[in-house]
Structure 1
């Protein structure tokens, strides 16, 4: 084998090695892209779950706030039925249950229950 043939062979081997390295880089980048897409989708799903839960909590808080306002109004008006106001509101039952727990727990000591 002559020097020129040896040099051509070595250059071809380096070219092949360089091609394989580029191919591996492309595969690695593709895997990174896939992993990033998977993680992004998982994060988006979690964010959606948190958003739904947050909206439910906000609705419940609004309902409780409304009921507390109604109770404050009932306390300000002598003869108003507090039980009728608490049961007759447009809020879902869980909020009414939470409201009753709040009032049983505080036993009239919290700011909205004081006379």
Structure 2
């Protein structure tokens, strides 16, 4: 094979690789990662988008705490939830409150309202 032909093949490989990388970068910027993130809606609600791209609903346990999201996926704030016969409170940030007094009610370390206090 001639030197000129080898250079031509090398240039074509580089051009092809550059094209593939350009397309890949375009696709990555067109579809930003949405997994495992809070997103603010146009209605000023917060929703959690899971790894598969769907909205989380119900109780959501994350590293920083537990949250409750309604059937539309909206994070509930300053909200009492009755769950399996027990009461739990979610604060202004939407996180389950633990080891605190809420109004005249005490919630324990598990977030459950103490019935004996």
Normalised by the length of structure 1, the TM-score is 0.38
The structure with the greater share of residues assigned to strand is 2
Normalised by the length of structure 2, the TM-score is 0.38
Larger Rg: 1
Question: Higher relative CO (CA 8 A, sep ≥ 6), structure 1 or 2?
Answer: 1
The structure with the greater share of residues assigned to helix is 1
